[in-house]
Amino acid sequence: MMTRSIILDDRNAMQRWAILLSLEVLISGMLVSALHSQSTTPSSIHSQAVRQSATPAPVKTEYVAKPAVASTPTRYQPDPFAGKAGRYYRDVWGVDSLNVKAVESGELIRFTYRVLNPQKAKTFNDKKIEAFLNSPEHRIQLVIPSLEKVGQLRQSNTPEAGVSYWMAFSNPGRRVKRGDRVNIVIGQFHADGLVVE
């Protein structure tokens, strides 16, 4: 009896395997025929292109990016007054865009600023108030030169909102160079750690 039940179980297992194998052959045959019908022969590609051109293309409302325009690369320059310092200079002194730059082959150091609130920024354009540029690294203090016919190299007209102004400090011996950190002092105003460009 035992041998008969083992034989029956073997026959059932063989039948199951035969069914699974025939299903696999059937499915793979359907896949091959589907792939064959989508072949990429030149004639089928041409017929697909003709079919596609005959049907109107759907209207797309997607944003299409413009190709990149070749331009000169720029270096990343973080805004040193983006956080609390920038807010302080805007709110208390009425200025922003503070910049220090070596000009005239390093003979002068130009300090520029943009006025936001003319009432708060009066100090900057008042010639009676002394202005200094301190270089802690070199232990020197630069002043605004006064020329006979021109006067001080400093703008002294009444400040207007949105206008940039400047003042120039003499740099004898070109001791202050690009990359140095300097401090600007105009009366009670102090801007520390500005980098000379």
DSSP of 120-188? TTHHHH-TTS-EEEEETTTTEEEE--EETTTEESB--SPP-TT-EEEEEEE-GGG-S-TT-EEEEEETT
Residue 3's pLDDT band, with cuts at 50, 70 and 90, is very low
Classify residue 53: in a domain, yes or no: no
Classify residue 134: in a domain, yes or no: yes
Q: How many domains does the chain have?
A: 1
Q: What is the pTM of this model?
A: 0.58
Classify residue 32: in a domain, yes or no: no
What's the domain range around 155? 84-195
CATH label of the domain that carries residue 190: 2.60.40
Q: N- to C-terminal Cα distance for the chain?
A: 101
Classify residue 136: in a domain, yes or no: yes
Classify residue 112: in a domain, yes or no: yes
> What confidence tens digit (pLDDT) does each residue in 99-148 have?
899 988 888 899 998 999 989 888 888 888 888 999 999 899 988 888 77
> What confidence tens digit (pLDDT) does each residue in 138-148 have?
899 988 888 77
